[in-house]
Structures are given as structure tokens and as C-alpha cells.
Amino acid sequence: MSDLEARLREVVRGDVRFDVAARALVTMDASNYRRVPLGVVAPRDGDDVAAVLGVCREYGVPVVARGGGTSIAGQATGTGVVLDFTRYMNRLVSLDAEARTAVVQPGLVLDRLQEAAAPHGLRFGPDPSTHSRCTLGGMIGNNSCGSHSVAWGTTADSVRELGVITARGERLRLGQGWAGAPEGLRALVEGELARLRTGFPELPRRISGYAVDALLPEKGADVARSFCGSEGTLGVLTEAVVRLVEAPRARALAVLAYAAESAAAEAAAGLLPYGPLTVEGMAADLVPSTAGLPRGGAWLFVETGGETEAEARARAEAVVRAADVVDSLVVTDPGGQQALWRIREDASGTATRMPDGSEAWPGWEDCAVPPERLGAYLRDFRQLLTSHGLRGTPYGHFGDGCIHVRIDFDLLSEAGVGRFRRFSEELADVVVAHGGSLSGEHGDGQARAELLPKMYGAEMVALFERVKGVWDPDDLLNPGMLVRPAPLDANLRFSVLPREPVDVAFGYPADGGDFSAAVRRCVGVAKCRTTSVSGTAVMCPSFRATGEEEHSTRGRARLLHEMLAGELVTDGWRSVEVRDALDLCLSCKGCRSDCPVEVDMATYKAEFLYHHYEGRRRPAAHYSMGWLPVWLRWVSRTRTAWLVNLLASVRPLAAFAKRLGGIAPERGIPRLATVTFTRWYGRRARAQERRKIRETGLEYEEESGRPVLLWPDTFTEYLSPDVGKAAVRVLEAAGLSPVPIPKLSRGRVCCGLTYLSTGQLDRARAVLRDTLDRFGVLLAPGAGEGTLPFIVLEPSCAAALRTDLPELLHDDPRAARLAASVLTFAEALEKYAPDWVPPSLNRPVTGQTHCHQHAVLGDGADRRLREAAGLAGELAGGCCGLAGNFGFETGHYEVSARCAEDQLLPAVREAPEGAVVLADGFSCRTQLEQLGGVQGRHLAEVLAEGLDEGPHEG
């Protein structure tokens, strides 16, 4: 333990961590920069903050305040001590609805404030796209804005008072007037009045530099306002009084389509007289073709408000009439608006990939110009991109003249970094020529502070340095930001990564086979740190259960980054820190769909475990549950399922078996089926003298129905054959002829799921190759892709076949052919029995969309099938928490139960009487039974029951 760490532990009541993992988690924010801190402190209150500042001043160590870590200019990174306010100083202290104010701590997430204000008809005006995880302290530090700034301004417009501790320990209460200002600030301002009155451009999104002009006497010497946007360089915020605004009772969203980006940009300023709440812009190169937007090449999202839906719609329609558009759409349904807004909010992540999949980076993320100059600026911007051979996808706050963009800079090579610098310098000149600000929302940080003389001139920048000297004469707080900045091309996060591809097992096709590129996908926007999910979203269940950064997708990606860098995490694949962070990853694959850049932490975890345990003894659970198909097959062959069930019912024997197998003592051991699914089918087929099936293909009579192949996954085969039986009945009722695959292949087949989830990739590869071999000519070249319907009833097994199989056996073309042939139960009915009408059940449903269904397979066909059967209601999101082997492993029970309580169990408890509890996954059904005492059922079982019972009354 260092002297600094020991001293901090003596005086701080909060958490003091100088370990490798804690430091690795905060080396980066959402920018291009990386700095390795000495340690991280989570203060409990202002006294802790003052104590940290005192010790760090004594040792000459810098201090960096950090909120959600979503800053895009590098200002949330540092080499000294990082203050993490999200753990303890994260409360809403009070809310005064009558005065329309709230008292907040710096670590409070914006959405928590919005939730508390909503019942009073109030809200906090600024709302960045990261509202579900950014903190009020970070918003004040960066003077954040968001999509509603045309109506409610920047964070500085919403600040009333600030409680601040200076680097020398002085506690100040900042507001309007000089009463709470540090000594010397007033004299400095009064000596520079002329410069302050003429040296700042007038535009709504001027964020760059210090807002010293807010201290002018004609502006009321607003010290609190001038502190906003100072990026933690002047003092440490401990509390804030913020203003709330009245939220409109109803909203409408007008989506205006234009032929091109320039037309949308030039039209934006003309819509401001109509009093919109937002005027946001996006171009077609950033929007998925399936987004459901009106036809066009660029769009403005214009939100209007009103006392009633009709009033809001009327205002939106007035905007449409005033606009010269190619096409338009007005949406008043909240769900429809939310879906459209999600496209815009995810842009900060989706923009990090160009349409061809190549990487794009921030750095010139949010320049702003006067709104009426936006069209001209964008043309010059595009021209500059072309001249440097670069590409970018602008979007953002068109109504405020603020543009966000990620650019495909090469930040890995010396030549690429040189071009990054030249482009930055030239773009700064373009922005200034249009009367703009280098930063229009995210702050200067390291990305732009070096170029502030271009915007303000040398004398004004020197004045900024004097302001810094008044507040922080020892340069203790976030040095290198705003004044005396580090070069914009120093400390780049990519410089420490290996230049040659790392030897890995998976193919990583979307990243050119490069594991480093896969890890680089995480840019730090931290959508995985959202503490509540909406709809069927899944990511990130372990973070919501623990609240720990290391158990978020971003945290794990940071540790993998540091593992590859080898500077802080020095033992590579053997790293205990990385192993421990990945230990609570449920492999739910939620990040594969919910993360804007499609980080696939389940695959990264499997890859890491494969290397980590290579040549070493594994945890017992990897043998007991990783090899589950082998053990269950052996039980089936020996016809001893009844004996296993009997022994498992004897508590001492069950406890011994669980201890031996690394299974959580709280878990019950599921009962095995005494008759497997395929054995049942064989008996049934013989009794009915079913048609013969050749090894080389299929022969069938037309009247027998279209043959479809049922994949006998381990769970359906040995643990829940009733699901398979029900599927056979429903498929036959739909006019199909289902046949279990073992009747067609040369023996048993396996998707390899349990080996994949435990990182036994050599074994998974062998099992999957053997599976492909067993299909013979059915997967040979020329057999056609997607023509053989393999119906997989267990969603996790279907996901493994559709994605993990071709990514692991990327050198075997048969893998892609099999993956293209995999269908879920609902997809098979929709594709091969489109005219079949399911039984009319007319019942409410509850439960949870399987996480792999959501992330990999999609649930559109399931939704349509439920609707056709009269099964009404939405399924919850999140993850059940069992997640295959995860929830059964020793040490995971508590987190597993918390995950279930996040969405699934509350949804079941709150369901109307008589609701059907749907759970297509064996894990989900097991979790429901063991934690909720509820019997969940596969959709096939519910439909099969309906075939017997006939239509229900609604």
C-alpha cells in the first residue's frame, strides 16, 4: 500500500481503491483518450471530498471528478485520484414542486431526477441522449444540453445554486452575485470588462472555454452559471439546486423528410418561430433502412407540446405545413414516438461504425454554429472531409446549429494520427469562420482545448488561465483540460493496443477477425449502465443487479482493453481481474442487440475463458454443467433417470452432489425425464407406421405434409420433452410433418451451447464439427442455404446455431449453411404454414422474452403468432437471471435472484388473473419455478393445449 493510499484510507469514510481493476475501469471515458490513474475514491459526502483534496494537495496529486464517464473530450480521465460520485453521492436531496426546484448530489443520474419530477408535471429541461446514465454533476461540468435545448436551454440555464469545494478546501455556495465567489475573481472580472463584452460569440450552443462573460454586471454576476462547463478544473461540485420546467401534458412528433442533409439543415432555423421543443436532424447514412421513417435522404425530428393530444398534433401539423418537405409523418402515440427517438439517441453509438463496418471516432463530435449558418457550415465540413479522404455521418441538434459526427480517423498509425491533427486544425478554422464554437455540448477537454486560441485569441485564453489561477492556484484539479492543455493527439487510447491481430478461436467476422477491433467497439457511451430497461431490452442485467461498473458491458470491455494493452493488467489471458469481472456476465447476449455498437460480451467471455483455463484445471461447474449433454446422454442410455431423480431427492446426497459439481446450494436439481423426447417420438412413429426417411434425403407423400426437422436440444430431449411433444402436435395441426433430427442424421447432434458458455471452445468446435459431419449430403455444397428447416425449440440453442456456430467454425462453409436453416418454432409456422389459423385462446399473457430471442433471433414471428392466437399483452424485458449454467454456479445465486426480481418476477406477480406465463427457455421456466413457484410454459405447450380445449371466451 502506497503512502498516498494509506493516508486516504485514514481520512476517507468512503471507498478507497488503488487495485488494478478499479484503476483499469476509469482509464477512459467515451473519448479517444486514455490516462491511468493512481487510484479511485468514492466519497460518501462533502467531508470526504474535502479530505481527499487535502491529502492530494499534500502529495501534489491531481484530482479528477467523474460522473457517468460518458464525456467525449477526455475530461473524465486523469493520472491522479479519480472521484467517483455515482456510488454514494447520488441522491435526490429534495424536490420542491411549488418552487420548481430540486436539490441534487453530483452522482444522481438524470433519469432518476426526471422520474421524481414527473408526478408533479415537471422535468429537468436538458436531456442528453445519455440521460439514462449521465449524472447531474457531469452535466454541470460539461454544460450539457440535449435535444430539448431549443425550448429549455443548456444546463447552465437550469442551475440556481452550486455547493463547491475548491482545491484548497474552501467551501463555497455559488449563485448570482459575488457573495459566494472565490477571492480575487471579482477584481479580475472588473479589470477585463471590455474584453468580456466583446470576446464571446453570440450563439445558443457556445460551450467552449470558461463562461466568464456570465460574470458581467449586466448579467447579474452569475457565478454559478460561469462555473458550468468548467469541466472540473475550478472546483469540485458537491450539491446543486436546479430549476425544473413544466412538462407538456401531451406531445406530438413531426418527422420531416428532405431530399438531402443540406436542405434539412437550411430549413431548421426557419422552424424555430413555431416554438418547437426539439429540432433534431439526421441523414440517411446513419439511419437503418427499416427505421420506418418517411421517404427521404435526411430528416428533422420536430417535437411539439400542448395541453391535449389534439393541441400538440395541431402544432406539429402547422410545422409540417410550414416546411417544404419531400414527405412527413406526425406521431402522437407515445410508443411510436419512443421508437423513433431511440433511432436518434442511439446515434452516438451507431455513428461509431461506417456503413461498411469500418470504425469511426469522436474528437470533432459537437461543433456549433449560428443555426442560420448550419447549411453553409455543413457544406464546408463535407468538403473538408473529402479533401482529407475522410468520412463522417453528421447528425444532431440542427435547431441550435450543433452537429455531432464520428469520423473514420485512423488513430492507430503515425500517418493517421498526423492526418487527425491536420484535419482538427483546419476544421477549427472553418468553425470559427462561421462564427461558431469548437464545442457545442460536450466540452473542450483534451480534444479541442489546444485549439481555443483560434476561437478566442491568445489574450482571452490567457484570461482563462488567470481565472483558473484564482480558483485553483496549485493546478490540482483536472490539469491539462481547458487551460495549458495536453496536445490533442497525445494520450490516444489506441496507442497501447497490439498492432498485430491476437490469436483467437472465434472468427469475429464483423471486425475482420481482429479481437482488438472487437474490443475497440466499446466507445464508452455506457448504455449498459442504464438502471432500468424499457420494452424487451436486456442489457445489462448484472450491472442492474450489482450497480458495479466492472459488471457492466463497458467495464468488462475496459478491462479487456487494458489486458490487451499490457500496461496496467500485465498477465494477459491469465488475468484474475478480467476473470472476476467476466464471472458475473450472464452471457445473455443482450449487448449484441442493445449496445449501439453491438459489443458481444458473451463471445468475448467465452474467448477469454478458453485462453484463461487453457492447460489448467477448470472450475467444477465447467465439468458438471459444461459437459451436461454427455452426462444426460449417459443417463438416457443406461435408463437410470429414475435413479438420478431418486438420489437427487435425498437432501444429503443432493447437497454432496452440488458441492462436488460447483452448484449453488440454494438450487434445486431439475428432474430428468424418464422417457426422452426422441424415444417418445420413435414409439409414436412406429405405432402410426410413419413414412421412411432416407439418410441421403427426404421422401414423403404430399398428403403427409411438408417435412420439417426438429432439433433435439439437450433441454427438450432430456429435461422437458413435453415441449417437444407439444411442438409436434401443433406443427402437425398446421399441416406440417415434424421429424426429430436423430432420425435423419447419423446419430446425435448438439449445438455446443454448454461448452460455449463455459469457454471450452476446443470441445465446442469438435462437437459442432461432428454435428455437421452427421448431416452428410444435406449440408453439402449445392444443398442450398436456408432451404432445410431446422426448428429449434430452445432459444439459447437456436442462437448458438445461428451465430456462434458460423463464428467459431468460420472456416467451414457447412456451418453457414446450417445457421441459415435454423428457425424458431414461430418462424417455422409463419414460413411453412402461413395460412394456418391457431386456436383462439383469448387470454392475457405475462412472462419474459428470452434474452437470446431478443438479442439474436428476434421475436417478431412470436408476437404475430401470439396475436393470432388471442394471447394479449407484452412480455417483460431483461434476463431471467438463471441463464443456463450461470445461475446454478456457486456464488451466483444472489445475483441471479436479483436479475429475476428486476423484470420477470414483478411482471408475473402483477399479471391479471388467469394470465398464461410464457417462458420458451428451460432456464426461464426453471427460474420461475424455483424462485416464484410459478409454472412457465413454452408457446408450443400453450397452443397445443388450445387445440384440445377449443376457443376460450375473452
Three-state DSSP class for residue 254: strand
Cell 477469454: give the residue. Answer: 608
Interior CA angle at 501 toward 500 and 504, to 5°? 150
Concatenate the DSSP letters of all residues of 213-238 into one string. Answer: GGGSGGGT-BHHHHHTT-TTSS-EEE
Tell me, what's the pLDDT at 288?
Answer: 65
What integer is the mean pLDDT of 256-275? 94
C-alpha grid cell for residue 443? 466540452
C-beta of residue 803 within 8 angstroms of C-beta of residue 792: no
pLDDT tens digits along 661-697: 999 999 999 999 999 999 999 888 777 654 444 433 4
What integer is the mean pLDDT of 508-517? 94
What integer is the mean pLDDT of 629-652? 95
Q: Which long-range contacts (CB under 8 A, 24 or more apart) does 636-643 make?
A: 636/676, 636/679, 636/717, 636/718, 641/672, 641/673, 641/674, 641/718, 642/674
pLDDT tens digits along 450-474: 999 999 999 999 999 999 999 999 9
509 secondary structure, DSSP code = G
Tell me, what's the pLDDT at 739?
Answer: 85
pLDDT tens digits along 17-40: 999 999 999 999 999 999 999 999
Three-state DSSP class for residue 650: coil
pLDDT more than 90, % of the chain? 84
Tell me, what's the pLDDT at 357?
Answer: 75
Contacts of 830 (CB under 8 A, 6+ apart): 861, 864, 865
C-beta of residue 493 within 8 angstroms of C-beta of residue 33: yes
Q: Which long-range contacts (CB under 8 A, 24 or more apart) does 314-321 make?
A: 315/252, 315/274, 315/275, 316/252, 316/253, 316/254, 317/254, 318/274, 319/254, 319/256, 319/271, 319/274, 319/276, 320/254, 320/256
Q: Is the pLDDT of residue 698 over 90?
A: no
Tell me, what's the pLDDT at 603?
Answer: 98
Please give, one letter per residue, the 3-state secondary structure of 161-175. EEEEECCCCCEEEEC
C-beta of residue 408 within 8 angstroms of C-beta of residue 390: yes
C-beta of residue 491 within 8 angstroms of C-beta of residue 481: no
C-beta of residue 203 within 8 angstroms of C-beta of residue 368: yes
What integer is the mean pLDDT of 702-709? 71
C-beta of residue 64 within 8 angstroms of C-beta of residue 76: yes
**Cis peptide leading into 540, omega within 30 of 0?**
yes
Q: Where are the alpha helices (DSSP H) in 292-413?
A: 309-322, 334-345, 347-350, 374-387
pLDDT tier at 631 (50, 70, 90 boundaries)? very high
pLDDT tens digits along 90-119: 999 999 999 999 999 999 999 999 999 999
Lowest model confidence (mean pLDDT) among 236-245, 782-791, 833-842: 782-791
Q: Is the pLDDT of residue 78 over 80?
A: yes
C-beta of residue 873 within 8 angstroms of C-beta of residue 915: yes
C-beta of residue 578 within 8 angstroms of C-beta of residue 561: no
Q: Is the pLDDT of residue 761 over 60?
A: yes
Tell me, what's the pLDDT at 704?
Answer: 61
pLDDT more than 70, % of the chain? 95
Helix (H) or strand (E) holding 399: none
Q: Is the pLDDT of residue 166 over 70?
A: yes
pLDDT tens digits along 730-756: 999 999 999 888 755 666 889 999 999
Tell me, what's the pLDDT at 953?
Answer: 43
**Torsions phi, psi for 792 (to 5 deg):** -115, 120
pLDDT tier at 934 (50, 70, 90 boundaries)? very high
What integer is the mean pLDDT of 134-143? 97
Tell me, what's the pLDDT at 165?
Answer: 98
Q: What is the CA 577 to chain-centroid distance, rounded? A: 22
Alpha-carbon span 32 to 34, nearest angstrom: 7
Alpha-carbon span 229 to 249, nearest angstrom: 31
pLDDT tens digits along 865-902: 999 999 999 999 999 999 999 999 999 999 999 999 99
Q: Is the pLDDT of residue 395 over 50?
A: yes
Tell me, what's the pLDDT at 290?
Answer: 53
> Which of 896, 844, 537 lies closest to 905 in space, CA to CA?
896
> Which of 36, 135, 134, 37 lies closest to 82 in space, CA to CA?
37
Tell me, what's the pLDDT at 362?
Answer: 85
pLDDT tens digits along 774-794: 887 677 676 555 457 899 999
Tell me, what's the pLDDT at 870?
Answer: 96
Tell me, what's the pLDDT at 736?
Answer: 94
Give the global pTM.
0.93
Tell me, what's the pLDDT at 954?
Answer: 38
Q: Is the pLDDT of residue 952 over 70?
A: no
Tell me, what's the pLDDT at 172?
Answer: 97
Cell 457550415: give the residue. Answer: 377
Tell me, what's the pLDDT at 353?
Answer: 74
Tell me, what's the pLDDT at 777?
Answer: 65
Strand order in the sheet with 871-872: 871-872, 843-847, 916-918
pLDDT tens digits along 529-546: 998 777 778 999 999 999
Strands 39-42 and 81-84: parallel
Tell me, what's the pLDDT at 596?
Answer: 86
Alpha-carbon span 438 to 206, nearest angstrom: 8
Helix (H) or strand (E) holding 829: helix 825-832
Mean pLDDT of all residues in the chain?
Answer: 92
Alpha-carbon span 449 to 798, nearest angstrom: 50
Strand order in the sheet with 39-42: 15-17, 39-42, 81-84, 63-66
Helical axes 601-612 vs 553-565, angle rounded to 10°: 40
Q: Is the pLDDT of residue 700 over 50?
A: no
Contacts of 741 (CB under 8 A, 6+ apart): 709, 710, 711, 712, 749, 790
Three-state DSSP class for residue 503: coil
